[in-house]
C-alpha cells in the first residue's frame, strides 16, 4: 500500500508498485485531467506536479510516490472558480483539441511557482518537453504570460489560495 496526497486529499493506494502514477490517478482516483499520450514520457500529456516539480506520470511508478504530494489540473481550480492558470488558458483560447492542455498547464504552473518572473526564453525552454499537435503554441505562451501576471498580482499559488 502506498500513501500519497493528491490535490490536498490523503489516499491509501493498493495497486502493484510498478503501476504508473497516471493509471492510479485516472483509474483509482477518477481524475481524468492528465492524459495518456505516448506512454513513454515523450509528449507531456500526462504531466502533473509532484512536490512542486513537473513530472511525467506515465513513466513514474507508484512505488516512488510514497508520502509525496501530487497536484493535477483538477487541483488548480474548478469549473466555477478556475485558478489563474486555467483562467488564462480560457481567456487566451489556448486550446484547440485540448488534449495537451492539462499537461501544458501543469508544466507551466510548476515553472511559475518556482520562477514567477520567468522570461519568454525560460518559458519556452521549460515547456519544450510538452507537445501540441494542433499548433496553438503562441496562444499557450500568451496564456502562460497572462497567468504569470495574474499570479504575481494576486499572490496565488497552486491551489488558488493567497500566498502568505
Is 38 in contact with 59 (CB distance < 8 Å)?
no
Sign of the Cα pseudo-torsion (152, 144, 85, 75, in order): negative
Q: Which residues contact 58 (CB under 8 A, 6 or more apart)?
A: 20, 21, 22, 36, 37, 38, 39, 40, 41, 46
In a shared domain, residues 91 and 34:
no
Q: Which of residues 13, 40, 74 is at a domain's end?
A: 74
pTM, whole model, 2 decimals? 0.92
Per-residue model confidence (pLDDT) at position 159: 46
- Lookup result for grid cell 503562441: 138
Host H or E run for residue 112: helix 101-114
- Residue 29 in grid coordinates: 482516483
| Number of neighbouring beta carbons within 10 Å of residue 81 | 9
Q: Which domain holds residue 149?
A: 84-154
> What's the mean pLDDT when you consider all of the chain?
93
In a shared domain, residues 51 and 101:
no
Looking at residue 91, which CATH number applies to its domain? 1.10.150.120
Q: Would residue 100 count as lying in a domain? A: yes
In a shared domain, residues 26 and 7:
yes
Per-residue model confidence (pLDDT) at position 164: 34
Looking at residue 35, which CATH number applies to its domain? 3.10.20.30
Q: Would residue 79 count as lying in a domain? A: no
- Residue 116 has phi, psi (to 5 degrees) of -65, -15
In a shared domain, residues 102 and 50:
no
Counting the structural domains of the chain, the total is 2
Give pLDDT tens digits for 61-105: 999 999 999 999 999 999 999 999 999 999 999 999 999 999 999
Using CA atoms in the order 124, 125, 126, 128, what is the torsion angle rounded to 10 degrees? 80
- Residue 84 in grid coordinates: 489563474
- Residue 110 in grid coordinates: 510548476
Q: Would residue 131 count as lying in a domain? A: yes
Find the mean pLDDT for residues 138-164.
Answer: 78
Amino acid at each position: 500500500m502506498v500513501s500519497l496526497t493528491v490535490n490536498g486529499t490523503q489516499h491509501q493506494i493498493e495497486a502493484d508498485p510498478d503501476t504508473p502514477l497516471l493509471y492510479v490517478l485516472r483509474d483509482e482516483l477518477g481524475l481524468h485531467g492528465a492524459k495518456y499520450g505516448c506512454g513513454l514520457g515523450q509528449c507531456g500529456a500526462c504531466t502533473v506536479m509532484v512536490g512542486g516539480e513537473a513530472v511525467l506520470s506515465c513513466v513514474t511508478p507508484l512505488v516512488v510516490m510514497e508520502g509525496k504530494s501530487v497536484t493535477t489540473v483538477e487541483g488548480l481550480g474548478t469549473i466555477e472558480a478556475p485558478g489563474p492558470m486555467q483562467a488564462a488558458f480560457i481567456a487566451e483560447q489556448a486550446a484547440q483539441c485540448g488534449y495537451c492542455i492539462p499537461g501544458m498547464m501543469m508544466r507551466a504552473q510548476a515553472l511559475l511557482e518556482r520562477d514567477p518572473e520567468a522570461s519568454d526564453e525560460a518559458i519556452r525552454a521549460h515547456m519544450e518537453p510538452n507537445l501540441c499537435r494542433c499548433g496553438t503554441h503562441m496562444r499557450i505562451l500568451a496564456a502562460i504570460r497572462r497567468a504569470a501576471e495574474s499570479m504575481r498580482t494576486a499572490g496565488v499559488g497552486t491551489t488558488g489560495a493567497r500566498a502568505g
